[in-house]
Amino acid sequence: MHKFTKAFISLSLPLCFIANVNAQKIYWSDQPNLKRADLDGSNVEDITPAIFNGPRAVTVNKTESKIYWVDQNGFNYRKSDLDGTNLETLFNTTGGAGTAMAIDETNSNIYHGNVSFVGGFNPFIEKRNLDGSNNSTIISSLSGSVKDIALDVNNSLIYFTVSNTIQTVNFDGSNQQTIVTATSNIQDITLDLTNNKLYYTDQNTGLNTGKVVRTDLDGSNPTDILTALSNPEDIHLDVTNSQIYWGDGGEDKIFRCNFDGTGTETIVTGVSISIADFSLVSADAPLSVELNYFTARQIENSIQLSWATASETENEGFNVYRKLGNEDFVKIASHKSHTELKGQGNTSLETFYTFNDNSKLQNGEFYTYLISDVETNGIETKHEESAQSVLFEVQSQEVRKFELKQNYPNPFNPSTTISYNLAKDSKVSLKIYNEIGEFVKELTNGFRYEGSHNVIWDGTNNNGKSVSSGTYFYKISAGTFTQTNKMILLK
């Protein structure tokens, strides 16, 4: 059984609190190493060799189970496995950047701050693929260097701090807005997208006057959560356990407390670099869909996808994505347009799904498929770890006639596959009738290419309600060709 996780990521610099499927750990920079420990600060271990000038902007891509950070020696952006092995250098910048980075796991992108000195001082935010390729500028000519970045992926929105302000901009660089302005020293931000809140650290200007502030996502309704802090820097949230984590550069410690500011405790002490370099990934939310398996196989001249869920929570349905070779994934089917992709909402019972890709595919090419589940609140989670590839090969025996084949299995419960052949490209209608000739459901209505096709009937009518046991007839119409066969549903 495979479990797939999702979480909102908010980060700044190198400490990283991580909750993953293997263990809950804190990751942080302690110059010149990366370190990790349990959430209570115990079991500290070095996970990288000495890195000159210290890693910054540490974060974790939980989909890949990788750590990302910036090595301040040459501003090289790097990643490794969670234990520090398999180190890779992705790219470097020359503008003294590296204090802000965020990862969009859903769309496989990195967002980071950078600075250009061509024609003057020009701070900007860049986007890249996870391997560092295809860099593009999202927004430029900012009033100062970007201190921190947080992402609201569902709304395609970037939050960032610059020049004592918190600003937002769309993923495409449009609609830049300032939502918080302070006269003191705003440092880092994090988002609670579950409760629609934003948290930030404010160092203020006097001794022990720093604070942690909470606002709505639009910057309104500010509330001081913690006050009289020495030098608060980075901040992150464990939403599941309603806890705030923050670093204090004046005390060289990492703390945590409850959302209301009570119960403060020290987690890490004696950090030898400013805690400006710390980031946190929120704890795992409960899984919307727990996937048991996902398979893809060729059946005649179509690809059949099959999967089963162990449980579903607020699951509206599934989307299907496909890519050819090394191209990008493209959504080819949605629960909104395909009834077989509709979810069960809430269930603890194992549920089986089947989807047939009847597109006209290219002979001798590899096609890769993955599915995503969509919650009733619109949150989409792609099950990238389960992606399956199929080498598609056109069957050597040419289809020469129209034919409606006997369904299989027959009798059946709860679903059956109906196959048919088309001698040429045709508009096809495939309908189900009961034994007294009443219309039950239309399975296919549209253009189909020449060749073999499959469609699943799940024993429901056009309203999605299960039908009773009995004899049913399925009729195909393709141009001038019609044929009717009989099948039996047993419950």
Average pLDDT, the chain: 83
Decide if 247 is inside a domain. yes
- Predicted local confidence at residue 15, as pLDDT: 43
Report d(CA 360, CA 379) in Å as an integer: 31
Full domain range(s) for residue 451: 403-489
Range in 27-31, 89-93, 190-194 the model is least confident about: 27-31
Same domain, 409 and 361: no
Say if residue 238 is in the same domain as residue 327.
no
Between β-strands 186-192 and 177-181, what pairing exists: parallel, antiparallel or unpaired?
unpaired
The region of weakest confidence among 5-19, 171-185, 468-482 is: 5-19
Write down the pLDDT at residue 317: 94
Residues across the chain: 491
Is 384 domain-assigned? yes
Is 368 in the same domain as 310?
A: yes
pLDDT digit string, tens, across residues 370-393: 999 988 867 788 888 888 888 888
**Does 331 reside within a domain?**
yes
CATH of the domain at 466: 2.60.40.4070
- For tokens 């044929």, name the residue: 483
The full DSSP string for 397-423 is: S---S-EEPPPBSSSBSS-EEEEEEES
How far, in Å, are 65, 285, 299, 389, 446 from residue 296 at the CA level?
25, 28, 10, 7, 24
Q: Has residue 167 been placed in a domain?
A: yes
Work out the burial of residue 241: count CB atoms within 10 Å of its CB; fewer than 13 is exposed, 13-18 middle, 19 or more buried: middle
Q: Is the pLDDT of residue 124 over 80?
A: yes
Choose one of 359, 392, 425: the last residue of a domain.
392
Identify whether the C-beta of residue 126 lies closer than 8 Å to the C-beta of residue 114.
yes
pLDDT above 60: residue 101 = yes
CATH of the domain at 364: 2.60.40.10
Q: Cα separation of 379 and 368, whole Å?
A: 23
Do 309 and 430 fall within a single domain?
Answer: no
Judge if 96 and 151 occupy the same domain.
Answer: yes
pLDDT value at 50 more than 80: no
Q: For residues 125 and 102, what is the distance between their CA atoms, to the nearest angstrom?
A: 11
Express each pLDDT in 284-332 by its tens digit. Answer: 445 678 888 898 888 888 899 999 998 998 899 999 999 998 888 899 9
The reply to whether 385 and 474 lie within a common domain is no
Bond from prior residue into 222 cis (ω within 30 degrees of 0) = no
- Tally of structural domains, the chain: 3
Higher pLDDT residue, 142 or 64? 142
Same structural domain, 330 and 277: no
Per-residue confidence band for 49, with pLDDT thresholds at 50, 70 and 90: low
pLDDT higher than threshold 90 for residue 224: yes
Pick from 231, 253, 281: which residue ends a domain? Answer: 281
Q: Which long-range contacts (CB under 8 A, 24 or more apart) does 138-146 make?
A: 138/111, 138/169, 138/171, 138/172, 138/173, 139/169, 139/173, 139/176, 140/116, 145/96, 145/97, 145/99, 145/113, 145/115, 146/97, 146/99, 146/100, 146/113
Is the sign of the CA dihedral 245, 249, 251, 252 positive or negative?
A: positive
Looking at the structure, do residues 296 and 277 belong to the same domain, yes or no? no
Residue 148, helix vs strand vs coil: strand
Q: What is the pLDDT of residue 38?
A: 72
Selection from 351, 353, 358, 340 nearest residue 298 by Cα: 358
The CATH number for 187's domain is 2.120.10.30
pLDDT band, very low/low/confident/very high, at 18 (cuts 50, 70, 90): very low
Residue 453 belongs to some domain of the structure: yes
Name residue 370's beta-bridge partners. 321
139 shares a domain with 194: yes
Distance, CA of 371 to chain centre: 12
Is residue 10 very low, low, confident or very high in pLDDT (cuts 50, 70, 90)? very low
**What average pLDDT does range 148-166 have in this prediction?**
92
Asked whether residue 3 is domain-assigned, the answer is no
What is the signed CA dihedral for 64, 46, 92, 79, rounded to 10 degrees? -10
Q: What is the pLDDT of residue 53?
A: 59
Neighbouring-strand partners of residue 111: 102, 127
Comparing CA positions, the residue from 256, 247, 243 lying closest to residue 277 is 247
pLDDT at residue 464, as a whole number:
87
Asked if residue 212 and residue 332 are part of one domain, the reply reads: no
Q: 3-class DSSP state for residue 291?
A: strand
pLDDT tens digit sequence for 425-472: 889 999 999 999 999 999 999 888 888 888 899 999 998 899 999 999
Domain boundary among 358, 392, 426: 392
Tell me, yes or no, whether 158 and 270 share the same domain. Answer: yes
pLDDT in tens, 390-433: 888 876 555 468 999 999 889 988 889 898 988 888 899 999 99
Position 7 scores a pLDDT of 31
Q: 153 and 171: one domain?
A: yes
Residue 143 per-residue DSSP state: S
Mean pLDDT of 28-34: 74
In a domain, 261, yes or no: yes
CB 99 within 8 A of CB 13: yes
Question: Residue 398 falls within a domain, yes or no?
Answer: no
